[in-house]
């Protein structure tokens, strides 16, 4: 609603309200004025009537006084006071002498009588037959008479309406004139305000050159209009400055975006190069591992056969030295691969239920030969609160223990090596390896967990090693949500302790079944045993081996010599598929890298042939020098039941085969 419309409605409303207010106030005031005028008139008329009644009484007695009272009433009524009544009352004897409605001699109403007796003259208001009357009274002395003149309130206020009508007309006219004056004045103000508002709207719409003209006067609206003009000028100036700043900011943003694009491109290029380098490193390590493991498999295998053979003492010693060197070389290869996995963040935990006590026994059994060679006491102390069965990665735990206990044996010339195990807080189990070896200087303890770091250079010369073992142990312990610490006294021995999160598992039949040994970790076998083709009870396995190196075939034949197992060797994947289809086999050892059809392709084709011909699945083990997790996963996805990593010793191979007998 426009301001002018509101002002018009406000003016009309104000006129109506003020007129009503004037009428209400006038009504109250007129009533009071009319009553007061009536009382004054009654008082004057009463004085005249009292004087006339006294004279009539003095001349003719009581009857003359009564007649005079009646004549006074008639005279006043003839003047227009139609409701006027004249009363003559003997208050001493309480009798009416003259009354329009009461008979002479009747008692006067008691309430009015009491009021008349209180004072010789005065004013009185009373109700008579439901009608309010105004009265004036005066005493006649020495008689105890009272003359009363009364009129009806209705007649008194009858003149009020004529007065109110006149007042209303005058007030309404005055108010209308006043409203018109204020309306015209307000209209002029509204025109100026509308012009101001229009100017502000134009400025708000972006018309920054809009200004108010013809500004005159010194009132508030003039100051407002001057302020609007000043505001417009400042906004225009600030807008111009802001436009310049925005242009500069846009230019800066474009420059920064260009720099960001270049930097992003450089980072992406660096990332791609790093990824390619990482991939190349992984491929190189995998290739080197494969190339080293392949001949090492034949070397270690033949060495194992030589150690078992009856050789002269000198040659037997040479063979043992060769075996130790092979073990060192194999440990170095495994450490480098594990370090590569750790650096790439690819090392994960394979958690399952396992028998912790059995794992501890197996670990020490593996290392007991080395301890016996050095005539060291190898002991273990397991606290009673240590759980029998736990949930975790048993192979990583075993790897850490073998590394720590193996180091303790390596650096201890005499005395003992002790493995202590106890339950720590919550699900943590604490392991400590304590030895009586050469010890480590205190200032060197902070560096021994860094890759390729040892206590000093003489350690590598005297005891061998690369310094990777402890670094790997610390990383694997961290994966198991634990911490590896070391304490040592130079010349007195060392103690390496670590914790691992190994929640205890209830001793139930299900737990026992899940903790049964299902694979040899070094062989990376799966816990999956498909049905094999039937053969004669007590007979050995019919084994098909596919490997492109004849040395490996000869080695496995030598390992199986003296057993009931029968080996068929082929040198490529295509021949393996053909032989498998033509003859029944209980187990397949499949090399991965072969000419023609590689091992992965051969495994897939064999599995496809079995499904198409509704044949039971024959166990297939990938037998390869590829030890990376990616290679293991690929063989599993192709359908292999397990993954044997070269080099593989005779005892381990026979242990794996025994699981399929």
The pLDDT score that the predictor gives to residue 516 is 54
Answer whether residue 458 shows pLDDT above 60: no
Packing angle of the helix pair 599-612, 629-638 (nearest 10 deg): 20
| pLDDT tens figures, 298-341 | 787 787 788 788 878 888 888 777 777 777 677 667 767 666 66
Q: Strand, helix or coil at 274?
A: helix
Q: For residue 532, give every residue at least 6 positions away whose Cβ sits within 8 Å of its Cβ, in sequence order, or none.
A: 586, 587, 616, 618, 619, 660
| pLDDT tens figures, 348-381 | 788 899 999 999 998 998 888 889 988 999 999 9
Distances (CA, A) of 169 to 108, 165, 279: 47, 6, 107
Mark 268-292 as b/e (b = at least 16 C-beta within 10 Å). eeeeeeeeeeeeeebeebbeebbeb
Give the whole-angstrom CA distance, residue 435 versus residue 437: 6
Q: Where are the domains of the chain?
A: 37-162, 348-515, 521-658
Nearest to 370 by CA among 338, 331, 396: 331
Packing angle of the helix pair 313-344, 469-479 (nearest 10 deg): 50
- A 10 A CB-CB count for 94 gives 14
Helix, strand, coil shares of the chain, percent, nearest 5, are: 55, 15, 25
What value does the mean pLDDT take over residues 52-56? Answer: 85
Range scoring the smallest mean pLDDT among 25-29, 351-355, 465-469, 569-573? 465-469
DSSP string, 461-489: HHH---S-HHHHHHHHHHHTT--EEEEEE
495 strand-pairing partners = 434, 487
Q: Are residues 360 and 382 in contact, defined by beta-carbon separation less than 8 angstroms?
A: yes
| pLDDT tens figures, 148-190 | 988 888 877 776 677 777 777 887 788 788 878 777 777 777 7
Note the helical H segments in 61-159. Answer: 62-78, 110-118, 153-157
Give the whole-angstrom CA distance, residue 585 versus residue 568: 9
Residue 454 backbone class (left: φ over 0; alpha: ψ -120 to 50; beta: rest)? beta
Q: Are residues 27 and 166 in contact, defined by beta-carbon separation less than 8 angstroms?
A: no
What value does the mean pLDDT take over residues 541-551? Answer: 91
Whether 37-162 and 521-658 share one fold: the answer is no
Note the helical H segments in 345-374. Answer: 356-373
Answer whether residue 464 shows pLDDT above 60: no
| Domain 348-515 in CATH 3.40.50.2000 | no
DSSP category for residue 523:
G
CA dihedral (76, 77, 81, 86) in degrees, to 10, reads: 70
DSSP category for residue 525:
B
Q: Strand, helix or coil at 264?
A: helix
416 strand-pairing partners = 377
Give the whole-angstrom CA distance, residue 307 versus residue 556: 16
pTM above 0.85, yes or no: no
Give the whole-angstrom CA distance, residue 71 versus residue 77: 10
* Chain mean pLDDT for the chain: 81
State both tokens at 593: 């890298």
Packing angle of the helix pair 220-308, 550-560 (nearest 10 deg): 60
Give the whole-angstrom CA distance, residue 371 versus residue 302: 25
Task: Say which CATH topology domain 37-162 has.
Answer: Beta-Lactamase (3.30.450)
Q: Strand, helix or coil at 76?
A: helix
Q: For residue 351, give every residue at least 6 positions away whose Cβ sits within 8 Å of its Cβ, in sequence order, or none.
A: 391, 392, 393
Q: For residue 428, give every residue at least 6 positions away whose Cβ sits within 8 Å of its Cβ, in sequence order, or none.
A: 481, 482, 499, 500, 501, 502
The pLDDT score that the predictor gives to residue 442 is 82
CATH number of 521-658: 3.40.50.2300
% of residues, the chain, pLDDT over 90? 26
**Secondary structure E strands in 439-592:** 484-489, 493-501, 542-546, 566-570, 587-590
């Amino acid at each position: 609603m426009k301001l002018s419309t509101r002002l018009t409605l406000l003016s009309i409303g104000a006129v109506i309200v003020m007129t009503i207010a004037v009428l209400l106030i006038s009504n109250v005031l007129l009533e009071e004025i009319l009553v007061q005028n009536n009382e004054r008139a009654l008082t004057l008329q009463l004085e005249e009537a009292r004087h006339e009644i006294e004279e009539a009484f003095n001349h003719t007695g009581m009857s003359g006084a009564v007649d005079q009272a009646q004549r006074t009433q008639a005279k006043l009524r003839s003047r227009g006071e139609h409701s006027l009544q004249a009363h003559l009352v003997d208050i001493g004897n309480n009798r009416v002498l003259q009354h329009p409605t009461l008979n002479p001699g009747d008692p006067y109403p008691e309430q009015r009588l009491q009021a008349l007796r209180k004072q010789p003259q005065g004013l009185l208001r009373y109700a008579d037959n439901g009608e309010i009357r105004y009265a004036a009274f005066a005493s006649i002395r020495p008689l105890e008479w009272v003359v009363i003149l009364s009129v009806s309130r209705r007649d008194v206020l009858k003149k009020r309406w004529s007065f109110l009508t006149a007042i209303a007309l005058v007030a309404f006219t005055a108010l209308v004139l006043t409203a018109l004056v204020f309306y015209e004045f307000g209209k002029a103000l509204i025109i100026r305000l509308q012009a101001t508002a229009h100017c502000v709207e134009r400025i708000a719409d972006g018309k920054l050159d809009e200004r108010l003209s013809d500004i005159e006067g010194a009132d508030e609206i003039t100051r407002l209009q001057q302020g609007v003009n000043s505001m417009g000028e400042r906004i225009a100036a600030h807008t111009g400055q802001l436009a310049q700043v925005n242009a500069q900011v846009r230019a800066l943003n474009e420059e920064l975006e260009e720099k960001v694009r270049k930097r992003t491109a450089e980072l992406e290029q660096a990332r791609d190069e790093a990824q390619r380098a990482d991939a190349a490193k992984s491929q190189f390590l995998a290739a080197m591992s494969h190339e080293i493991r392949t001949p090492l498999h034949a070397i270690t295998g033949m060495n194992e056969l030589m150690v078992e053979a009856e050789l002269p003492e000198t040659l037997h010693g040479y063979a043992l030295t060769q075996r130790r060197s092979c073990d060192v070389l194999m440990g170095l290869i495994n450490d480098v691969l594990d370090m590569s996995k750790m650096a790439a963040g690819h090392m994960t935990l394979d958690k399952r239920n396992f028998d912790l006590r059995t794992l501890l026994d197996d670990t020490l059994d593996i290392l007991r030969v080395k301890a016996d060679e050095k005539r060291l006491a190898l002991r273990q102390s397991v606290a009673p609160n240590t759980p029998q069965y736990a949930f975790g990665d048993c192979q990583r735990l075993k790897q850490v223990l073998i590394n720590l206990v193996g180091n303790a044996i390596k650096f201890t010339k005499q005395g003992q090596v002790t493995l202590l195990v106890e339950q720590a807080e919550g699900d943590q189990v604490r392991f400590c390896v304590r030895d009586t070896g050469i010890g480590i200087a205190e200032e060197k303890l902070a560096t021994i967990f860094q890759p390729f770091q040892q206590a000093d250079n003489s350690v590598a010369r005297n005891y061998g090693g690369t310094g990777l073992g402890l670094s790997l142990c610390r990383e694997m312990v961290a994966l198991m949500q634990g911490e590896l610490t070391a304490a040592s006294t130079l010349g007195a021995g060392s103690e390496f302790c670590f914790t691992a999160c190994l929640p205890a598992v209830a001793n139930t039949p299900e737990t026992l079944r899940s903790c049964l040994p299902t694979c040899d970790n070094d062989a990376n076998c799966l816990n999956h045993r498909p049905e094999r083709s039937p053969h004669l009870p007590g007979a050995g396995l019919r084994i098909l081996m596919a490997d492109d190196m004849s040395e490996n075939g000869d080695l496995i034949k030598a390992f199986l010599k003296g057993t009931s197992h029968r080996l068929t060797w082929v040198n490529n994947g295509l021949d393996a598929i053909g032989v498998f289809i033509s003859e029944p086999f209980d187990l397949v050892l499949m090399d991965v890298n072969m000419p023609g059809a590689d091992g992965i392709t051969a495994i897939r084709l064999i599995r496809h042939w079995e499904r198409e011909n509704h044949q039971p699945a024959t166990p297939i083990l990938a037998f390869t020098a590829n030890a990376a997790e990616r290679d293991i996963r690929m063989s599993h996805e192709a359908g292999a039941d397990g993954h044997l990593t070269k080099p593989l010793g005779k005892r381990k191979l026979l242990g794996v085969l025994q699981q399929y007998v």
